[in-house]
Amino acid sequence: MSESESTEPESPDEEETQETPALLFGKWDVSGIEFRDPSTARYVTVTPIAHTMGRHNRQFEKSEISIVERLINRLMQSEENTGKKQQAMRIVREAFEVVHERTEENPVQVLVSAVENAGPREETVRLKYGGISVPKAVDVAPQRRVDQALKFLAEGTERSSFKTPTPAHEALAREIVGAADYDVSTYAINQKEEKERVAAAAR
């Protein structure tokens, strides 16, 4: 018997198989997220992990945490949601479903666009000259821009849903979609525009 005749056919197990990527909340792929703002891209991390259990607890390691988890943590910084991480995760997960229904896009991509749009580029500081306090316009660091954007999204969600018939996930979805579309009527974009307007007057 020749060598060609003795070779056994390849079994299906030997075929190359592609590993399926990990999905955020078991549904959303985060491998193809695009960043339009190069200044904040370094500080916006996207991973399929929504709860790292506080592994990055140093001052400048917060940028290594997923932007989704940072939004979840921001939602907990209110009187009603303090310490309720599972509840905050549920709000974000349900908000992502609403965002996907309205935009037919990956909600993680929409969130990244919202953060890029809602971060102010200028703000004011107070300088004292001989006992007189004078406002001065300054550029905002990229990491602070991301922090401010998440703060505005969380505050807008709380203002729209606290003691109102609007569910929290619906309010969050509205803020994310509005900020991604640069809708000035949303709280996050309105606050960004206000900060930049005050800074422009203080130049």
The predicted pLDDT at position 57 comes to: 63
Please report whether residue 62 resides in a domain: yes
Please report whether residue 95 resides in a domain: yes
Give the Cα separation of 134 and 151 in Å (integer).
26
97 versus 50: the higher-pLDDT residue is 97
The predicted pLDDT at position 185 comes to: 93
**Dihedral angle of Cα 161, 164, 166, 172, to the nearest 10 degrees:** -10
25-64 pLDDT, tens per residue?
888 898 889 999 998 999 999 988 888 876 666 666 788 8
Ramachandran category for residue 130: left, alpha or beta (phi over 0 → left; psi -120 to 50 → alpha): left
CB atoms near residue 71 (< 10 Å): 24
Domain ranges, residue 89: 21-120+141-185
Please report whether residue 161 resides in a domain: yes
The predicted pLDDT at position 110 comes to: 95
CATH (domain of 107): 1.10.455.10
The predicted pLDDT at position 15 comes to: 44
Q: How many domains does the chain have?
A: 1
106-164 pLDDT, tens per residue?
999 999 999 999 999 999 998 888 889 888 999 999 999 999 999 999 999 999 988 88
Token readout for 109 is 């991509």
Give the Cα separation of 185 and 106 in Å (integer).
23
Cα of 30 vs its chain's centroid, Å: 12
The predicted pLDDT at position 11 comes to: 47
Cβ burial of 102 (10 Å; 0-12, 13-18, 19+) is middle
Give the Cα separation of 21 and 23 in Å (integer).
6
Report angle CA 7, 11, 13 to the nearest 5 degrees.
140
181-197 pLDDT, tens per residue?
999 999 999 999 999 99
The predicted pLDDT at position 12 comes to: 46
Residue bearing tokens 């140093």? 58
Please report whether residue 197 resides in a domain: no
Task: Please state the pTM of the whole predicted model.
Answer: 0.84
